[in-house]
């Protein structure tokens, strides 16, 4: 009998949680605006041979590679980054963070990949951090 009671409590508790979770899901889809991806690209500006990607070089890269792919708009943030390189050394460098809001489509994901590849090639970079998440936006 105690096992049956425990089982009933388990199912009763589970039933109470399910509608709450369903309510949270319906609230999330009822938010104003539209669902888009927020993608952030983190570009280290330190050059392997010394020096940094200059403001002029960055502006040229932005104009040639990013703006044509995302003409709707973008945000660039100044940052100070730190990461461990392939040889285990801690590297600190000035960075740029590119923030983009866009539709989730193969074309846009490919455009992000091309931007990352172009930056790595142009400035001989080991990596560019890329992050994307779904968000609700309203303009």
Residue 27 has phi, psi (to 5 degrees) of -65, -40
Q: What is the pLDDT of residues 20-42, one digit of tens each?
A: 444 445 455 567 789 999 999 99
Domain residue ranges in the chain: 1-30, 34-137
Measured between alpha carbons, how far is 44 from 126 in angstroms, rounded to an integer?
9
pLDDT band at residue 129 using 50, 70 and 90 as cut-offs: very high
Fold entry, domain 34-137: Alpha-Beta Plaits (3.30.70)
Report pTM: 0.75
Written as six digits, the tokens of 76 are 């660039």
Q: What share of the chain is helix, strand, coil (3-state, %, to 5)?
A: 45, 30, 25
For CA atoms 56, 57, 62, 65, give the dihedral sign: positive
pLDDT band at residue 63 using 50, 70 and 90 as cut-offs: very high
The set of residues, in sequence order, having a beta carbon less than 8 Å from that of 122 and lying 6+ positions away, is 61
Nearest C-alpha neighbor of 118 from the set 94, 98, 93: 98
Helix or strand or coil: residue 64? helix
Q: Would you state the pLDDT for residue 17?
A: 40
């Amino acid at each position: 009998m105690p096992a049956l009671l425990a089982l009933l409590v388990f199912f009763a508790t589970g039933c109470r949680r399910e509608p709450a979770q369903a309510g949270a899901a319906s609230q999330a889809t009822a938010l104003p605006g539209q669902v888009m991806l927020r993608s952030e690209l983190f570009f280290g500006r330190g050059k392997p041979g010394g020096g940094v990607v200059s403001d002029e070089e960055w502006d040229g890269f932005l104009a040639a590679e990013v703006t044509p792919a995302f003409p709707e708009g973008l945000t660039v943030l100044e940052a100070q980054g730190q990461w461990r390189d392939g040889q285990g050394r801690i590297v600190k460098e000035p960075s740029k963070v590119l923030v983009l809001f866009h539709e989730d489509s193969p074309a846009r994901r490919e455009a992000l990949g091309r931007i990352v590849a172009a930056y790595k090639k142009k400035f001989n970079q080991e990596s560019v951090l890329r992050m994307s998440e779904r968000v609700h936006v309203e303009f």
